[in-house]
């Protein structure tokens, strides 16, 4: 089986991504592969040795965190060399999913801290999960998985991924109505009929439709529902910076919201 790939850089966010990937790997019968990427060039042998030592220490910390869960997942580790984004994009061609951590992507995501996650979201050849770290808020009674249902090509695959995640995470699924241009002043019932079809496909998942003209980012900025995961299609990858924002961002009321980009 192709592995669930996790980018490890020594951060708590990366460890959180590894822990999130455990259930993804187990449910597919796939290995969980932890990958730490070092720089492509070094000015001295000492710098290279420090870089490798940091990578190995980071992998060990992530491995120990995964093993501490006592879940039966097959675990692999790897140190690669090159630009982190490029290495993980290339590795995505032989992966079931790539998981990376994020402490928040700012509005200049393409040039600063969110660059690796942004590059993966736009270029990876498999689904990409960008995972947020914990929240100071108490554990919620309801923690939604949200997806937008449209008539766009490939949307059924996006909704299917969201439903599978809802089943895996034992979470209710919030399904937003189509794009603004697809909605008239009065609903014609097509949206509700599609939602009912998904309920029959996934009877164990609680599915709640919301008819709205808003995309996911706009809906979350205006509502307080606790959302653990927003599922979007590859054609919506440019929304990543809107959905995973830093403190002070309009969506900071959803600090635990992770994003899954489906391809």
pLDDT digits over 250-263, tens only? Answer: 444 565 688 999 98
pLDDT recorded at residue 137: 53
> Which domains does the chain possess?
4-131 (3.40.50.620), 144-261 (3.40.50.12370)
CB of 210 within 8 A of CB of 176? yes
pLDDT band at 87; cut points 50, 70, 90? very high
Percent of the chain having pLDDT more than 70?
Answer: 83
Helix axes 12-28, 45-67, angle to 10 degrees: 50
- Residue written as token pair 């822990």: 19
pLDDT recorded at residue 22: 97
pLDDT digits over 181-236, tens only? Answer: 555 555 567 888 889 999 999 999 999 999 888 888 888 888 877 889 999 998 88
Question: Is residue 244 pLDDT above 90, yes or no?
Answer: no
Distance between CA atoms of residues 76 and 3, nearest Å = 9
pLDDT recorded at residue 182: 55
Distance between CA atoms of residues 221 and 219, nearest Å = 6
pLDDT recorded at residue 153: 87
Sorted by sequence, the CB contacts under 8 Å of residue 33 that are 6+ apart come out as 3, 4, 5, 6, 76, 77, 78, 95
Question: Is residue 78 pLDDT above 70, yes or no?
Answer: yes
pLDDT recorded at residue 113: 38
pLDDT digits over 89-135, tens only? Answer: 999 999 999 999 876 444 433 333 356 888 888 899 999 999 876 55
Distance between CA atoms of residues 210 and 208, nearest Å = 7
CB of 194 within 8 A of CB of 228? no
Sorted by sequence, the CB contacts under 8 Å of residue 80 that are 6+ apart come out as 35, 36, 37, 38, 87, 91
pLDDT recorded at residue 27: 95
pLDDT band at 63; cut points 50, 70, 90? very high
Mean pLDDT of 169-191: 72
- Residue written as token pair 């996650």: 117
């Amino acid at each position: 089986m192709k592995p669930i790939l996790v980018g490890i850089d020594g951060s708590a966010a990366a460890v959180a991504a590894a822990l999130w990937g455990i259930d993804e790997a187990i449910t597919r019968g796939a290995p969980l592969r932890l990958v730490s990427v070092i720089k492509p060039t070094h000015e001295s042998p000492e710098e290279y040795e420090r870089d490798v030592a940091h990578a190995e220490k980071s992998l060990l910390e992530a491995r120990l965190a995964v093993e501490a869960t006592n879940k039966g997942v097959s675990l692999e580790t790897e140190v690669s060399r090159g630009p982190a984004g490029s290495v993980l994009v290339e590795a995505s061609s032989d992966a079931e999913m790539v998981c990376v951590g994020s402490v928040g992507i700012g509005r200049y995501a393409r040039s600063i801290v969110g660059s690796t996650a942004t590059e993966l979201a736009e270029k990876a050849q498999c689904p990409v999960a960008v995972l947020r770290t914990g929240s100071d808020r108490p554990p919620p009674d309801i923690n939604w998985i949200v997806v937008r249902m449209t008539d766009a090509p490939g949307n059924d695959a996006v909704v299917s991924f969201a439903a599978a995640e809802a089943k895996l995470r034992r979470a209710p699924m919030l399904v937003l109505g189509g794009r603004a241009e697809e909605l008239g002043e009065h609903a014609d019932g097509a949206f509700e009929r599609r939602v009912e079809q998904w309920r029959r496909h996934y009877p164990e998942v609680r599915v709640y439709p919301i008819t709205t003209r808003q995309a996911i980012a706009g809906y979350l900025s205006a509502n307080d529902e606790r959302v653990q995961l927003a599922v979007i299609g590859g054609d919506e990858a440019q929304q990543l910076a809107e959905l995973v924002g830093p403190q002070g961002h309009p969506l900071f009321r959803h600090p635990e919201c992770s994003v899954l980009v489906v391809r």
